[in-house]
Amino acid sequence: MPAPKKNMITLTVDGREIEAVEGTMLVDAAKNGDIEIPVFCYEPKLGAPVGACRMCLVEIEGIPKLQTACSAPVRDGMVVHTRTDQVKEAQNAVVEFLLVNHPLDCP
């Protein structure tokens, strides 16, 4: 029995059109389109993503708040921005928070 056909969709990330299988996590679709979204906690082999580190925050048009790219499934026509001032400020705040609470005694 042949495998079911996967539904391909098109989304736009930072002005670039990307094709991906519908339902793929945004962070993976972007990476497959040569767009890197920073992540700390995302590892697909660990199961469902939780977006705990918040490093992969992005703007998705039509959604008022920043979203975690690791837990956002892509959909047809989705428009995503990964380099806006709001996104950069959020990512900087995440790193600052982690460093403030991190003991600097790593080997």
Under the banding of pLDDT at 50, 70 and 90, the label for residue 1 is low
For residues 67 and 57, the answer to whether their CB atoms sit within 8 Å is yes
> Whole-prediction pTM value?
0.86
pLDDT digits (tens, 9 = 90+) for 9-55: 999 999 999 999 999 999 999 999 999 999 988 877 777 777 788 99
CA proximity to 42, closest of 29, 52, 32 = 52
Residue-level pLDDT at 87: 98
What dihedral do alpha carbons 82, 55, 77, 49 form, nearest 10°? 160
pLDDT digits (tens, 9 = 90+) for 46-96: 777 777 889 999 999 999 999 999 999 999 999 999 999 999 999 999 999
For residues 53 and 47, the answer to whether their CB atoms sit within 8 Å is no
Helices (runs of H) and strands (runs of E) counted in the chain: 2, 5
Domains and CATH numbers, the chain: 8-100 (3.10.20.740)
